[in-house]
Amino acid sequence: MVAHGISLNNLTLTYERHPAVHHLSGFFPTGSMTAIIGPNGGGKSTLLKALAGLHPIDEGFIQRDPHLNLKKTAYLPQNSHWDRQFPITVFDLVSQALITEPTFWFRFNQNQKTRIQEALEQVKLWNQRNVSIAHLSLGQFQRVLFARAILQNANLILLDEPLTGLDEASIQDFFTLVQEWKNQGKTLIVVLHDRTLISKYFETTLILAKEAVAWGSTEQVLNPQYYSPSHLKKPFSFSEEECLR
């Protein structure tokens, strides 16, 4: 066991028999907000899946604070991983976050209904609760996923490119939600591409190009004074521009 966070120890992951994450070691403290950036195919999504317990570990291991165990973890994959044509309403999709509660398979009690309503109101979708997800815009569907995470009340929140399809107003609403999660002491690990937003909201950044190119305070990792492309190592070499896309 590791106290007060999640520790990666020589973590190696493969995807379709190809290396995705290579001998990665580092630490996510409890209550921290970490942004992950890097090139396409750099292992970002694979790492989040491993942290969510959805991808096998080939080498090394992950140590977790019991407070951040898998039952206390919320994982939101990229929008493209969802079947948007599945016949389910906004209300039903969000309510699935309660699947571990004893009454889920019977009938929601008033407390649960209220929590579902509050989560949907927080993302401004209560009025669309009976709409099929097939009829939502990309941004609306992303907000449905945020409502699921709110309702799940997890201590560890893993978000893979959560800003896809969001307009400026929705992005600001998202970061208001992120700040609330931070104030509640939740641990967030988020794949993003926008350096301006990362610098504004995240104290820690990991540049991942199959191995850790840089991992530390956002101020240092994104500052050319402290980081330069010469720090990259073969065979996983990418330009700084590629890593920060």
Please give the Cα distance from 100 to 98 (Å, whole number).
Answer: 6
Report whether pLDDT(95) > 50. Answer: yes
Kind plus residue range of the DSSP H or E element containing 142: helix 138-152
Rounded Cα distance, 183 and 201, in Å: 13
Q: Give the pLDDT score at 2.
A: 45
Q: Which domains does the chain have, with CATH numbers?
A: 5-243 (3.40.50.300)
Residue 21 near residue 210 (C-beta atoms within 8 A): yes
In the predicted structure, residue 238 carries a pLDDT above the cut 60: no
d(CA 192, CA 198): 7
* Confidence (pTM): 0.85
Question: Which range has the worst mean pLDDT, 25-34, 50-59, 100-109, 142-151?
Answer: 100-109
- First-to-last alpha carbon distance for the chain, in angstroms, is 35
